[in-house]
A and B are shown apart, each in its own frame.
Chain A
Amino acid sequence: KNQVEQSPQSLIILEGKNCTLQCNYTVSPFSNLRWYKQDTGRGPVSLTIMTFSENTKSNGRYTATLDADTKQSSLHITASQLSDSASYICVVSRFNAGNMLTFGGGTRLMVKP
């Protein structure tokens, strides 16, 4: 079964600290993996996208890694800001499946002053 599991479900950190969110997937055949940020009551916004051959990709203070062998990805947030408080969703697409996506349940991050 194609699944995407994220951990932790929720996380609280102090402003300025770093954190790492995890994503494990069983989606096959793998095409690409995306991390989305979703503010409360808003639609998700894409942060990064990685294909099979990419190990790491950065977008400002966000750095995503991908290990296609172990089917794991992580999202590292550096020097967190209050505006980073949101849900972070890991999304995997299958090769030759059109643009059909499998979504993780998300990690809810709260950054406190």
Chain B
Amino acid sequence: DGGITQSPKYLFRKEGQNVTLSCEQNLNHDAMYWYRQDPGQGLRLIYYSQIVNDFQKGDIAEGYSVSREKKESFPLTVTSAQKNPTAFYLCASSGRQETQYFGPGTRLLVL
């Protein structure tokens, strides 16, 4: 898991509720990423940020939002617009053109 932490490990969301997943890294990496993992499927990119105060949509950004106010932090908000949020969410970070290092993940469940 390197120097990347994600919290909480499990998160429960009620219908219509926004929830925020935390991702922090102490690797001094410029780039950070959020992925969604569903059973039997490859990881899909939600959002990424290559520098502080800048971020870009990935392949499945609808229903999600992010911020990058600090180099170390890249929180992901799952909004009520995301109709199928149940999944395993992985945060990653990388130096320039380097291997991505992943956090331990957050499993989001809908009540």
Contacts and interface: CB of A to CB of B under 8 A. Distances in A.
B45 A43 contact: no
Contacts of A46: 99, 101
For A46, A49, A101, the residue with the greatest tally of chain B CB atoms inside 10 Å of its CB is A101
B47 to A, nearest CB: 12
Interface string B89-108: 01010101111111111010
Contacts of A104: 42
Given A4-B42, A99-B94, A49 B50 contact: no
B42 A105 contact: yes
Interface residues of A, number: 21
A41 B107 contact: yes
Contacts of A34: 99
Interface of B: 1, 4, 6, 31, 40-45, 48, 50, 88, 90, 92, 94, 96-105, 107
Interface of A: 4, 9, 34, 36, 41-46, 49, 89, 98-106
